[in-house]
């Protein structure tokens, strides 16, 4: 709770591969896991705590070598289920991880996740039509806000080379990830 003056709520945490994040829409809607281990708090809860669009998002990735990198998004919110839990990012982006979600410096139109709806293997809302019926969540084995598919994806298959681009270009493979955390805080 000392991070950036405290007051954060953890919405996603992964510390090992004991819990699969390749889940259906209902699981991501209501949440799964345990806060002391691996958890997704639930899209309904994320919407409720960010709906007024006055929240920040803090993301950290700890690498297998023990280095922890972070990125802070000044404005973060998620819409309701009727709008398929669309992600909204705005404002300044700072940190040591590099922006993989919003004002990306590499192919920004294809990988900007702001405005994207959440997708799971059983509820495809991405813009990709190229392969596997266009379902990025099905192909990459985890729910997320995909575009064509992603440059940031924290819910992939744990510690696997199949977990592509957890946070491009800084973290290119899930084999390099020891832990992830996503936290929100109201302004």
pLDDT digits (tens, 9 = 90+) for 41-86: 999 999 999 998 899 999 999 999 999 999 999 999 999 999 999 9
Q: State pTM to two decimals.
A: 0.93
pLDDT at 27 > cutoff 90 = yes
Rounded distance, CA 77 to CA 72, Å? 13
21 token code pair: 């994040």
pLDDT at 119 > cutoff 70 = yes
Q: What average pLDDT does this structure show over 135-140?
A: 90
8-state DSSP, 154: T
33 neighbors 23 (Cβ within 8 angstroms): no
* Poorest-pLDDT segment among 35-39, 85-89, 109-113: 109-113
Rounded distance, CA 41 to CA 22, Å? 15
Domains and CATH numbers, the chain: 3-186 (3.90.215.10)
List of residues 6+ apart from 12 with CB closer than 8 A? 39, 40, 41, 154, 155, 180, 181, 182
């Amino acid at each position: 709770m000392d991070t950036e003056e405290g007051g954060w709520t953890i919405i996603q945490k992964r510390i090992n591969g004991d819990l699969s994040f390749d889940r259906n829409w209902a699981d991501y809607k209501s949440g799964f896991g345990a806060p002391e281990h691996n958890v997704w708090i639930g899209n309904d809860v994320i919407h409720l705590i960010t709906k007024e669009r006055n929240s920040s998002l803090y993301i950290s990735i700890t690498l297998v070598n023990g280095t922890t990198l972070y990125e802070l998004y000044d404005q973060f919110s998620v819409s309701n289920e009727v709008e398929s839990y669309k992600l909204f990012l705005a404002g300044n982006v700072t940190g040591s991880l590099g922006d993989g979600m919003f004002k990306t410096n590499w192919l920004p139109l294809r990988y900007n996740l702001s405005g994207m709806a959440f997708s799971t293997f059983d509820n495809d809302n991405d813009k990709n039509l190229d392969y596997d019926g266009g379902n990025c969540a099905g192909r990459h084995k985890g729910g997320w806000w995909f575009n064509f598919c992603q440059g940031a994806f924290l819910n992939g298959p744990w510690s696997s080379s199949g977990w592509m681009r957890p946070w491009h270009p800084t973290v290119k493979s899930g084999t390099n990830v020891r832990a992830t955390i996503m936290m929100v805080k109201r302004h």
